[in-house]
Amino acid sequence: MRVIQFREALREAMSEEMRKDTNIFIMGEEVAEYNGAYKVSQGMLDEFGSKRVIDTPIAELGFAGIGVGAAMNGLRPIIEFMTFNFSLVAIDQVINAAAKMYQMSGGQFNIPMVFRGPTGSAGQLGAQHSQAFENWYANCPGLKVVVPSNPYDAKGLLKSAILDNDPVIFMESEQMYGDKGEVPEEEYYLPIGKADIKREGSDVTIVSFGKIIKAVYQAADELQKDGVSVEIIDLRSVRPIDYATVVESVKKTNRLIIVEEAWPLASISTEITYMVQKQAFDYLDAPIRRITTADTPLGYAPTLVKAFLPSVDQIVKAVKDVMYR
């Protein structure tokens, strides 16, 4: 199977759907003339033209609102935020318009649109450009929230998001755009709301999503040297959450750790902890552990970045704590 970059997988997903449906267009800062801030939309202006690949001013609230209006009139916009930190400027349109329009119109208006761009930390970018908003948007009824971790998942999930009749928040990572992975040449779609067991194991379940799952893979490799078998579940979407896959895994391993790049309060890991304790409490042989970022804005210094994020050492220690307590 061929190997392509994460950014190429996203580009293929958008281009394939745009070739089939002229109602689909992409709009955002630097998506056209500059070929995308991260070169995700490279070459798309040449293929689809300036009416379907649209550069915008630095005005997130404005172009997010244009996207909602376009969706109400039968188009299928893809709105790119250069980073989801900037989506805070547009959050009124995302939360109060896109997410609520179907209900408020009595079902007269679907909002078939995608808001996509990078989330979370990406190195030394400071406190205002390093925030993860997955749990924020997942808290809002009316939205679907997708957070892929690899090129294969990214392409299949984005194609499904583009065809979805509800607004989808599609969150990536600046530090993953160059990641490479196997992606088939033939067309495929992945369902939103279905988790994937990336590695089967028998001793402990670790649930994660997005780029931080890389630390989980590294920790699992280290633990395997000590004879600990880790089952890794990639949620892939955090609204809806595939609780059933997590619960069935916990019934097998009897231990659960959730690793998430987000502040701890009201996190996705907190929600999963509640649901697993509700549905599989009697199967647990140890308390559920969650590993999140530090409960502070992210500093600029590399030492602070390292201390802020979940680490391989933290994951290994947590697994050993639940295994040998």
Percent of the chain with pLDDT over 70: 100
Helix (H) or strand (E) holding 130: none
The CATH topology of domain 3-182 is Rossmann fold (3.40.50)
Structure confidence at residue 256 (pLDDT): 98
Q: Note whether 3-182 and 196-324 share their fold.
A: yes
Structure confidence at residue 311 (pLDDT): 97
3-state secondary structure at position 309: coil
* Domain segments of the chain as ranges: 3-182, 196-324
pLDDT category, 89, cuts 50, 70, 90?
very high
Structure confidence at residue 280 (pLDDT): 97
In 3D, which of 163, 165, 159 has the Cα closest to residue 184?
159
Structure confidence at residue 16 (pLDDT): 98
The dihedrals phi and psi of 177, each to the nearest 5 degrees, come to -60, -30
Task: Give yes or no for residue 325 having a pLDDT over 90.
Answer: no
Question: Does CATH number 3.40.50.920 belong to domain 196-324?
Answer: yes
Which ranges in 105-147 belong to alpha helices (H)? 134-138
Question: What's the whole-model pTM score?
Answer: 0.96
DSSP sequence for 16-67: HHHHH-TTEEEEETTSSTTS-TTSTTTTHHHHH-TTTEEE--S-HHHHHHHH
CB contact set of 200 (below 8 Å; sequence gap of 6+) = 231
Specify the length of the chain in residues. 325
Two structure tokens written together for 19: 């070739």
Amino acid identity at 91: I
The dihedrals phi and psi of 160, each to the nearest 5 degrees, come to -65, -40
pLDDT category, 324, cuts 50, 70, 90?
confident
Other C-beta atoms lying within 10 Å of the C-beta of residue 268: 26
Distance, CA of 171 to CA of 312 (rounded, Å): 23
Going from the C-alpha of 16 to that of each of 28, 118, 189, the distances in angstroms are: 19, 21, 12
Two structure tokens written together for 252: 């097998």
Please give the mean pLDDT across all residues of the chain.
97
Percent of the chain with pLDDT over 90: 98
Distance, CA of 174 to CA of 29 (rounded, Å): 15
Structure confidence at residue 81 (pLDDT): 97
Residues annotated as part of the active site: 60, 129
Distance, CA of 258 to CA of 272 (rounded, Å): 8
**How many Å separate Cα 228 from the centre of its chain?**
28
Task: Give yes or no for residue 43 having a pLDDT over 80.
Answer: yes
- Give the residue-averaged pLDDT of 220-241: 97
Distance, CA of 270 to CA of 93 (rounded, Å): 27
DSSP sequence for 211-243: GGHHHHHHHHHHHHHTT--EEEEE-SEEES--H
